[in-house]
Structure 1
Amino acid sequence: MKKILLIVLGVLAVLALGFFGFKKYTKSFSPEAVAETSNNGVNVKVNYSKPGKKGRHIFGREQDKALLPYGKVWRTGANEATVIEIGQGVSIAGKPVEAGSYSLYSIPDQGSWKIILNSDVGQWGTEYNDGKNVLTVEVPIRVKPSVQELFTIYFEDIPNGSNMILSWDQTEAIVSFTRN
């Protein structure tokens, strides 16, 4: 009986080491980052990982072999699902959202993006359950003349709130947060 218990414990230890080793390995390619704002009555914090362009074609049609094809759900970062923490009720692109933690997904397209808040948090980013969506809004994009090598999230102040900017390659999606 002791021998079986030792074998089971040994297997569990190897699995745990493998899991943490894999996690550290993937984070070396897409480092963790935090973006946050506490301005104009809007308190938002985003925990995400920053994938790199690495010479790849990022946004476009599926047949053009784009990394993120138009019309497909993206985890809005890399590795685990991106988590957005909202400190108090706000409006996102004009729709009200309660305070809380949500996974942030998006659907890139040519002229605009859909931003999705999902009540599942803590999962690997590709484990998306659309039945748990709390909010879906369409937001505008802008095209930059320069290339953003690493996916980056940052905030810009606006009257009564902040814009969260999702920036990668030459595309920036603009997500407005205003206080209720």
Structure 2
Amino acid sequence: MKKLIIGGFSAICLIFANPINAQEDGKVNYSKAELNFSKLDSSPMDLALYRDKDEAPVARVIYSRPQKREREVFGKLVPYGEVWRTGANESTELTLYRDMKVADEVVAAGNYTIYTIPNEKEWTIILNKSNNTWGAYEYTDEQDLVRINVPVRKAPNTIEALSMAFEDSGNGADLLIGWDNSYVKVPFKNAK
């Protein structure tokens, strides 16, 4: 019995003598006594959520927020006339919790990817059936569900980080997408 108690005590001492440490690369290091988590992503992930008057979720967008950092955004960093992931890192994800109407198309509840083709005076907004994609590298128009052109609007102030928000429109919501000195409105209307 003495050996069992001493052996158990020794094992407990060994466990507490080796504190755990999470390093920047996400691996565990058993030799340090403090935690070091990874640094904040330079284009952090964010989400915009639209709820109806009863607080039920209607639509959600998950996207990464690149920063302007004194760069010329549209026409340079984001080229005109090319398909863009509408953010950074993973492609921008749209979840519709109920059927919605975009342009004259009814889009069924489900998960989609939002791509855009920015131009100086208007953007083409693309709802695509692909999911879990990185950037626009895997984009194919064969998976397009809806395309709609929306006018570019002048922002009242500079928008440092790509930003998205829903604005109630009375019969649904407009998704506002803004960065640098411009923004667009994408109308989502109730299907019923």
What TM bracket, shorter-length normalisation?
0.7 to 0.9
Q: Deviations over 1:41-87 (max 9, x none)?
A: 87100011000001111112xxxxx1112111100111011110011
Aligned residue among 154, 166, 178 for 1:167: 178
Decide which structure has greater strand share.
1
| Structure 2 spans left out of the alignment, 5+ residues | 1-22, 28-36
Distance change (3 Å), C-alpha of 1:59 and 1:25? farther
* TM-score in terms of structure 1 length: 0.79
Distance change (3 Å), C-alpha of 1:25 and 1:175? farther
Looking at structure 1, the residues matched to 57 and 152 of structure 2 have their Cα atoms a distance apart, in angstroms, of 21
How many pairs does the alignment contain? 157
Looking at structure 2, the residues matched to 129 and 20 of structure 1 have their Cα atoms a distance apart, in angstroms, of 33
Q: Deviations over 1:89-126 (max 9, x none)?
A: 11113432111100110011122111111111112113
Aligned residue among 58, 61, 64 for 1:46: 61
* TM-score in terms of structure 2 length: 0.74
Where 2:182 maps in the other structure, the secondary structure is strand
Q: Deviations over 1:6-42 (max 9, x none)?
A: xxxxxxxxxxx9x979xx9796110010101012687
Distance change (3 Å), C-alpha of 1:169 and 1:89? same
Q: CA RMSD for the aligned pairs?
A: 2.4
Bigger-Rg structure (1/2):
2
Decide which structure has greater helix share.
1
Looking at structure 2, the residues matched to 35 and 117 of structure 1 have their Cα atoms a distance apart, in angstroms, of 16
| Higher RCO (CA 8 Å, separation ≥ 6 residues) | 1
| Structure 1 spans left out of the alignment, 5+ residues | 1-16, 61-65
Aligned residue among 106, 125, 138 for 1:115: 125
